Amino acid sequence: MKQRDIVFAPEARDDLFALYEWISLKANADTALSFIERIEKFCNKFDLASERGHSRDDIRQGLRIIGFEKRVTIAFIVSDKTVTILRLFYGGQNWEERFDV
C-alpha cells in the first residue's frame, strides 16, 4: 500500500479557521477545537488508501469528495506522492456552486 503526504491547501486552512470561529460562537472554543482536531485527524489518515470517497471528475479532473460526521464535505485530490485537501464545506452548503476550479 502506497503512503502519501497530506497537504492542506490555503483555502482548506481558511475553511478550518472559519469553521472554528463559527462553532466557538455557537458553542464554545473547546467544542470548536475538538471538532477541528477530529477533522484534521480524519484527513491525515488519507496517507494510506488515499483514493477513497467519490470521484467528481465532472467538476474538476481528479477531484474526490468524502463526508465527515454527516456535517462536513471534504474535497481533495490525490497525486503520486501527496493528498491535497482543497476545501472543507460545513453543514449542507452547496459546495458544488462554491467550489473554485
pLDDT in tens, 13-53: 999 999 999 999 999 999 999 999 999 999 999 999 899 99
Torsion angles phi and psi, residue 94, rounded to 5 = -75, 85
Confidence of residue 101 (pLDDT cuts 50, 70, 90): very low
pTM, entire model: 0.89
Q: Which residues contact 13 (CB under 8 A, 6 or more apart)?
A: none
Residues 66-93 have pLDDT tens digits of: 999 989 999 999 999 999 999 999 875 5
Q: Are 81 and 39 in contact (CB under 8 A)?
A: no
Q: Where are the domains of the chain?
A: 5-93
Q: Is the pLDDT of residue 100 over 70?
A: no
Domain 5-93 fold is: YaeB-like fold (3.30.2310)
